[in-house]
């Protein structure tokens, strides 16, 4: 099977340096080699980590409270093109981030490619401790990695091309085809948005109450069984015990096995078209070397499970 790989060394959607080093760390630990040699994928792409420095302007003042708005908009616009080029050819697409703002590009790209190729809307499974659905106005932090879902659904928008106005209807997803898993740290404004838009969300409460097996049945039933699925996995969905090296760790998260199970279940549908793995930050951890190693290892496991490892 063909696999398009996009390695995104970008950290401008939040304020902590280091998340840009994740793709190299994941690749150096052998992830792509495993996908090629053990899972049998034919890899496509330039096999280089993109830093997009040419797209980062010298001056990038806050706009509607957003930090680095011109840079994040320009970089995600470029990522949307990269992902689109793979996805429109029918390739499974893997994007290694980078902070979660990059999903504006990855999902913007697959949404457009899938409309063109299959005439279909995609569904998105967003696995995260956070719901990343702040509007610029509801955000306390101004970090765009807390806003990608708002821009992708049209809940947040801007007229100006250079401030995400480049997102067109064909790049967007509908709120009814969005499902969250793993939530446990949601801002007040986000809660209102989730409620008002009746968005399907399985928090850690639901994982504890029903078990991950039943949660995945319900999540996939909501999506329907022949809808193309884009899986966007924020490593902070995992408990810091398994993934300490991330910008905003929140205790009480998924076990690594629960994270792997989510990915295996999505793979098993046969409808997966794209995977993002984001927010691995090898420079952050209480015990840095050990923590970074464990987090990279967890990230590799998540990706391998999504791409079909360990299903008989």
Residues annotated as catalytic (active site), given as ranges: 100, 128, 130, 132, 145, 234, 236, 279
Q: Least CB distance from residue 128 to Mn ion, whole Å? A: 4
Whole-angstrom distance, CA of residue 56 vs CA of residue 42? 32
Contact 16, 284 (CB under 8 A): yes
The verdict on 236 binding Mn ion (CB under 5 A) reads yes
Query: In the range 131-150, which residues lie near Mn ion by CB under 5 A?
Result: 132
Q: Least CB distance from residue 142 to ligand DIR, whole Å? A: 8
Query: In the range 204-263, which residues lie near ligand DIR by CB under 6 A?
Result: 236, 248
Whole-angstrom distance, CA of residue 189 vs CA of residue 147? 12
Helix 256-269 / helix 212-223 crossing angle, nearest 10 deg: 30
From ligand DIR, Mn ion, none, interface partner of 187 (C-beta below 5 to 8 A by class): ligand DIR
The footprint of Mn ion on this chain (CB under 5 A) covers a number of residues equal to 8
Element (H, E) at 87: helix 69-87
Neighbours of 217 (CB within 10 A): 13
In the set 50, 67, 77, 145, which binds ligand DIR (CB under 6 A)? 145
Question: Stretches 86-94, 97-105, 107-115, 199-207: which one binds Mn ion (CB under 5 A)?
Answer: 97-105
From Mn ion, ligand DIR, none, interface partner of 308 (C-beta below 5 to 8 A by class): Mn ion
Give the end-to-end CA distance of the chain in Å, rounded to a whole number. 17
- Tokens 């010298």 — which residue? 58
Whole-angstrom distance, CA of residue 268 vs CA of residue 229? 12
From ligand DIR, Mn ion, none, interface partner of 141 (C-beta below 5 to 8 A by class): ligand DIR
Question: Stretches 21-29, 132-140, 154-162, 217-225: which one binds ligand DIR (CB under 6 A)?
Answer: 132-140
Q: Least CB distance from residue 100 to Mn ion, whole Å? A: 3
* Residue 63 DSSP code: B
Longest dimension (CA), the chain: 53
Whole-angstrom distance, CA of residue 81 vs CA of residue 130? 26
The verdict on 108 binding ligand DIR (CB under 6 A) reads no
Q: Least CB distance from residue 132 to Mn ion, whole Å? A: 5
178-183 and 49-50: which strand pairing? unpaired
The three-state secondary structure class of 5 is strand
**Residue 73 vs 248, nearer CB to ligand DIR:** 248
Residues near Mn ion, by CB under 5 A: 100, 128-130, 132, 234, 236, 308
For ligand DIR, the binding residues (CB under 6 A) are 100, 130, 132, 134, 139, 141, 143, 145-146, 187, 236, 248
């Amino acid at each position: 099977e063909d696999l398009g790989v996009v390695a995104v060394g970008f950290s401008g959607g939040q304020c902590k340096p280091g998340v840009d080093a994740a793709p190299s760390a994941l690749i150096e630990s052998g992830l792509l080699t495993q996908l090629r040699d053990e899972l049998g994928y034919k890899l496509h792409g330039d096999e280089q980590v993109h830093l997009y420095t040419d797209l980062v302007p010298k001056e990038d003042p806050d706009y509607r409270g957003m930090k680095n708005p011109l840079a994040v908009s320009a970089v995600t616009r470029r990522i949307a093109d990269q992902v689109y080029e793979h996805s429109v050819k029918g390739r499974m697409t893997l994007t290694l981030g980078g902070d979660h703002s990059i999903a504006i590009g990855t999902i913007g790209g697959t949404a457009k490619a899938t409309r063109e190729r299959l005439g279909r809307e995609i569904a998105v499974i967003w696995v995260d401790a956070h719901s990343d659905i702040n509007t610029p106005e509801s955000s306390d932090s101004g970090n765009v990695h807390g806003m990608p879902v708002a821009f992708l659904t049209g809940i947040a928008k801007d007229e100006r091309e250079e401030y995400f106005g480049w997102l067109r209807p064909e790049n967007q997803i509908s709120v009814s085809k969005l499902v969250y898993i793993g939530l446990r740290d949601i801002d007040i404004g986000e809660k209102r948005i989730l409620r008002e838009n009746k968005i399907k969300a399985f928090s850690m409460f639901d994982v504890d109450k029903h078990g991950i097996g039943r949660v995945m049945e319900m999540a996939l039933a909501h999506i329907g069984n022949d809808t193309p699925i884009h899986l966007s996995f924020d490593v902070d969905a995992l408990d810091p015990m398994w993934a300490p090296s991330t910008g905003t760790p929140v205790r009480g998260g998924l076990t690594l096995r629960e994270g792997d199970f989510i990915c295996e279940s999505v793979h098993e549908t046969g409808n997966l078209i794209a995977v993002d793995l984001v927010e691995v930050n090898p420079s952050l951890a209480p015990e840095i070397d050990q923590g970074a190693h464990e987090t990279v290892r967890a990230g590799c496991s998540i990706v391998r499970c999504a791409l079909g490892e360990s299903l008989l």
